[in-house]
Structure 1
Amino acid sequence: MPTSSAVTTLIALFAIVSPITAIPVFLTLTAGRTPSERRSVALKTALVSGATLVVAYFLGEAILRLLSIDINAFRIAGALVIGGIGWSMVQGQKVALAASASGAAVVPLAIPLMAGPGAIAATITIRSTEGGAFWTNIGVILALTVVSYVLFLAAQPLEKLLGETGLSIVSRIFGLLLISIAVSSAIGAVGELFPALLG
């Protein structure tokens, strides 16, 4: 794969995985945690999301086919989860989907916020269209994992810069963005399942 194609793939996956969007959720779920605990959650989130995309790259299409799950149904299910998280953030409610910050690193941070249905579908598509360059694509996923980890490490300084009020505002804005992403994903999936509905 040419370097320009690898960069394009990285940018596309970064936009879909959107670790920046997950930062307010990361800060909410790790509120009151020590810096070392936050670093641990950041690392686990990055690794789990990266590992999920690698597995999806090699086995995603086969797994969905084995379970008779349509990729669009998978996207709608993920949209519902993401939309629920976004709604809680907009309402200023504490997002509490895991008993611990460590558990939150897996759900909802890594899955479905980052390695969600959209990212998995994109990864499967990349494999099917550029299967001959799979090692380069794996390198792109690993690079995205590192970038995500670095962004999560920068979350705490950002929290100090914004303060409690600023963080609350940003959290609500990103919550609205998550709802928009969820609605857009659901509409796209429904449109593919029922083309006549959208003309």
Structure 2
Amino acid sequence: MLQYILLCLTSLLTMINPLAVMAVYSGITADLDRRHARRIALRACLIASAILVAFALTGELIFDFFAISVHSLRVVGGVLFFIMGYEMVQARLASMPHVPRKEAGPSLDGASKDVALTPIAMPMISGPGTIATVIILMHQGTNLTQKSLLVATVLFSCLLTFLLLLGAQPIMRRLGEQGNKMLTRIMGLIVMVIAVEFFFSGLTPIVREMLQLPLK
């Protein structure tokens, strides 16, 4: 049980990559007052948590409807995670637009909602890699308790991301560019290791099925 919880927490946090989210969020909200910046962080994390929980609960049904096997998802997810991990090892953070302070009133609220949904909620927090992760982890859950723990871990990860976003500006200043790149590279290595595990856990049963060998 503890091993499954640690797997869920490690996988989600490395795929979400709060450091990258913080860097993008800091750039987007650099010219905003704290109230609007917090509103963007809260809205983004609520949207992301809703998306991830929805896919965790319905992902297998969607795959059954389209006759997609979880093994195939693990293979594709492993490739996707490896690419994302490689990008993180290279310390490449996407360049994102920001919301200027001069936009006031309703226009600022509209802009805040836009950037909260895209790019922060999607694809930064609940991107394709994170969505694939929750679906795979949900399938790996052997009972209702483990599946419930996954949902709780998703909510906890989004809550932790929200708390980190609240302190994004001072944290990013203290880390500096080099510190941010170093931690991003470390998280990238973790993502690549998880990617290899996912890839071969999906490829092995596919190859055995092709060779018509019994599963152990």
Residue number in structure 2 paired with 1:26:
21
Judge conservation of contact 2:60–2:135 (CA < 8 Å) in 1.
no
For residues 86 and 138 of structure 1, do their structure 2 counterparts lie closer, same or farther at Cα, with a shift above 3 Å needed?
closer
Are 1:129 and 2:143 counterparts? Answer: yes
Identity of aligned residues (%): 21
For residues 171 and 153 of structure 1, do their structure 2 counterparts lie closer, same or farther at Cα, with a shift above 3 Å needed?
same
Equivalent position to 1:119, from 122, 134, 143: 134
**What TM-score results when the alignment is normalised by the length of structure 1?**
0.70
When structure 1 is superposed on structure 2, of 175-184 and 24-33 the one drifting more is 24-33
Cα RMSD of the aligned pairs, angstroms, is 3.8
Equivalent-residue separation in structure 2 for 1:134 and 1:173 (angstroms): 28
Q: How far has the Cα of 1:171 moved from its partner?
A: 1.9
Amino acid of the residue matched to residue 46 of structure 1?
A: C
Equivalent-residue separation in structure 2 for 1:139 and 1:85 (angstroms): 25
Q: How far has the Cα of 1:34 moved from its partner?
A: 2.0
Per-residue deviation, residues 93-136 of structure 1 (Å, max 9, x unmatched): 3435x7786423211431234x332322222454x6218x9888
Residue number in structure 2 paired with 1:83:
82
Q: Secondary structure at the match of 1:18?
A: helix
Please tell me whether Structure 1 or Structure 2 has the larger radius of gyration of its CA atoms.
2
Residue number in structure 1 paired with 2:178:
165
Residue number in structure 1 paired with 2:104:
none
For residues 89 and 43 of structure 1, do their structure 2 counterparts lie closer, same or farther at Cα, with a shift above 3 Å needed?
same
When structure 1 is superposed on structure 2, of 25-34 and 162-171 the one drifting more is 25-34
For residues 81 and 47 of structure 1, do their structure 2 counterparts lie closer, same or farther at Cα, with a shift above 3 Å needed?
farther
Are 1:61 and 2:60 counterparts? Answer: yes
- The count of corresponding residues between Structure 1 and Structure 2 is 189
Per-residue deviation, residues 130-162 of structure 1 (Å, max 9, x unmatched): 18x988875665444323322343444332221
Q: How far has the Cα of 1:174 moved from its partner?
A: 2.0
Are 1:182 and 2:168 counterparts? Answer: no
For residues 60 and 148 of structure 1, do their structure 2 counterparts lie closer, same or farther at Cα, with a shift above 3 Å needed?
same
For residues 60 and 26 of structure 1, do their structure 2 counterparts lie closer, same or farther at Cα, with a shift above 3 Å needed?
same
Are 1:52 and 2:51 counterparts? Answer: yes
Equivalent-residue separation in structure 2 for 1:175 and 1:160 (angstroms): 21
Q: How far has the Cα of 1:67 moved from its partner?
A: 0.9
Structure 1 residue ranges without an equivalent (≥5): none
Equivalent-residue separation in structure 2 for 1:140 and 1:92 (angstroms): 26
Equivalent-residue separation in structure 1 for 2:193 and 2:149 (angstroms): 32
Residue number in structure 2 paired with 1:17:
12
Q: Secondary structure at the match of 2:94?
A: coil
Q: How far has the Cα of 1:38 moved from its partner?
A: 5.9
Judge conservation of contact 1:49–1:145 (CA < 8 Å) in 2.
yes
Q: How far has the Cα of 1:63 moved from its partner?
A: 0.9
Q: Secondary structure at the match of 2:189?
A: helix
Amino acid of the residue matched to residue 12 of structure 2?
A: V
